Amino acid sequence: MEKNQAPTGTNNDLRPDPPPQPVGASEEKPARRPRGFAAMDRRLVSEISRKGGKAAHSAGTAHEFTSEEAREAGRKGGHASHASRRKGLAEKPQPSAETEKPQGG
């Protein structure tokens, strides 16, 4: 018998490896908790936002929309929100004048 070979019938018998476990699967994941503004009281968030708006206006860095800019933004918003609807209508075959004629005459 060689030096490196263990005798059969001992605890050194070959066994298959256990199946791999996903990373972090052995421990329970804690529930996700809101962070930042989402974790704050809504009144506190509103107060912080109000102060930020006042500071921006007093510093002159706040953007104020002109009526023309507001009109353009509204037009773009309508296009963006209904883009999928327009795309779906464009893909449907449009009925031609010939297919709309009554068949009886």
Q: Tell me whether residue 6 is in a domain.
A: no
Q: Tell me whether residue 98 is in a domain.
A: no
Confidence (pLDDT) at 19? 85
With beta carbons less than 8 A apart as the criterion, state whether 68 and 74 touch: no
Who's near 37: CB < 8 A, 6+ residues apart?
45, 48
Q: Tell me whether residue 71 is in a domain.
A: yes
pLDDT in tens, 22-35: 766 556 677 888 99
Confidence (pLDDT) at 16? 87
Q: Tell me whether residue 5 is in a domain.
A: no
Confidence (pLDDT) at 84? 74
Separation between Cα atoms, residue 47 and residue 54, nearest integer Å: 11
Separation between Cα atoms, residue 29 and residue 25, nearest integer Å: 8
Q: Tell me whether residue 64 is in a domain.
A: yes
Which residues of the chain are modeled with pLDDT < 70?
1-12, 23-28, 86, 89-105
Q: Tell me whether residue 72 is in a domain.
A: yes
Q: Domain residues for 70?
A: 45-84
Q: Tell me whether residue 73 is in a domain.
A: yes
Q: What is the count of structural domains for the chain?
A: 1
